[in-house]
Structure 1
């Protein structure tokens, strides 16, 4: 979340940068919505059935379409603004990685749907650990979103957000390892285990992607220094 002091120290960045940051901020807001839904369906798995999950997936698809629309706008903008845009490759990488994260989020939603369609259960201890993992990923995205949004406003605070992303990623790695071990040792069927492992791995991949994004943010910040 942006604070008053962030606005007060706002840099006079080139218009090309500011529009890029604004569009990316909108995209990360949609991604936050999508990952928030993922977190909710994992945390409240027992409250869903196949029909209610399909409703959640329909809404998530709408969010995903909005993300793809923003991605298209950003690609078009980058191609036109390229001469005035420092670290063009880093901007493109951030965009590609954010879009890839939304693909992973939808992949998780479809796997949860399969668990519900087949009336399979998630062992209580596994669900608890997956909930911790998804919560950590959502927290990490909040810091990643701050890092991107603060690029043209407060570089120091953007760097602080980058560091927090890396700290949360280390914790997320440990949560993933615990979840993976619990899944393997669970009494779930082989097919259930495959789906649950996919969910855990996709959450971990989203986490790894965000850690990679902050490296790109640092390169961009160096160009603004």
Structure 2
């Protein structure tokens, strides 16, 4: 196989690994959504919530294993050395997202263990927030996937990541205002809800950062083609 062919194959595999890591993040988002749905049911047994959270933890472990796999693959294959930094950075950012989502899940467990109740309306708002994060992740994954066949289409798809981040910024500011208004006299709920909102907003920021690194990679590849 030619050097060009070998390099293309290595890059194809590296991209597939990143797509798989994105799918692990999606699995964690879906499990977190289930956890919040269960939390909103005031009749749910605490053990069921903890069982759901254990699945979040299992997904987190899968993500950590995938991160190591990607890092090892990149180290062993020098054919794409000039792109390695971008692949590593995107991998590290996705890993941070996995850690933050786990932290959000743990905070919901803490709330239910300590009988901190926020009502269905607030829980529904979190679910809507999580669904928008999933849309942002989907756009990032689609852009990574298109990188293999068309950098131009990958760049067009990537713009959605940045547009959603702006929408989430607005949701974050509005959400913080609402919890300060509703829970001013309920300090334990106020503090933990603020913490959850901040973690979710950081997830969106991380997705934007991954998008910026991906955009750089796309532009470099476009310039070389």
Asked if TM exceeds 0.5, the reply is yes
In structure 2, what is the equivalent of residue 139 of structure 1?
135
In structure 2, the partner of 1:80 is 76
Asked if structure 1 preserves the Cα contact closer than 8 Å seen for 2:25 and 2:63, the reply is yes
Change (3 A) 1:57 1:186: same
Instruction: Give me the TM-score of the superposition, normalised by structure 1.
Output: 0.89
Which structure exhibits the higher relative contact order, with contacts defined as CA atoms closer than 8 Å and separated by 6 or more residues? 1
| Residue 104 (str. 1) matches residue 100 (str. 2) | yes
Question: Which shows bigger deviation, 206-215 or 178-187?
Answer: 178-187
- Which residue pairs with 1:5 in the alignment? none
Cα separation, 2, equivalents of 1:97 and 1:121: 32
Per-residue deviation, residues 144-167 of structure 1 (Å, max 9, x unmatched): 111112211222221122101111
Partner of 1:173: 169
Distance, in Å, in 2 between the alignment partners of 1:116 and 1:196 is: 13
> How many residue pairs end up in the alignment?
215
Which consecutive unaligned segments of at least 5 residues does structure 1 have?
1-11
Is the 2:32–2:56 contact (alpha carbons within 8 Å) kept by the matching residues of 1? Answer: no
2:3 alignment partner in structure 1 = none
Contact 1:126-1:182 at 8 Å conserved across structures: no
The residue number in structure 2 matching 1:202 is 199
Contact 1:126 1:179 survives alignment (8 Å)? no
Q: Which residue in the other structure is 1:212 paired with?
A: 209
Pair 1:38 & 2:35 matched = no
Alignment of 1:155-170 (within 5 A): 155-170=151-166
For residue 224 of structure 1, report the CA deviation from its aligned partner.
1.9
- Per-residue deviation, residues 167-210 of structure 1 (Å, max 9, x unmatched): 11111111111111111111362111111111111110000111
Q: Tell me the alpha carbon deviations over residues 70-103 of structure 1, each in whole angstroms, 9 at most, x when there is no partner.
A: 1111111111223533322111110000000000
Asked whether the 8 Å contact 1:87–1:219 carries over to 2, the reply is no
After TM superposition, give the deviation of residue 124 of structure 1 in Å: 4.3
Out of 217, 221, 224, the position equivalent to 2:221 is: 224
Q: Mean alpha-carbon deviation: is it higher for 13-22 or for 197-206?
A: 13-22
Structure 1 window deviating more from structure 2 (76-85 vs 106-115): it is 76-85
Q: TM-score, normalised by structure 2?
A: 0.89
Structure 2: gaps spanning 5 or more residues: 1-5
Show the counterpart of 2:15: 21
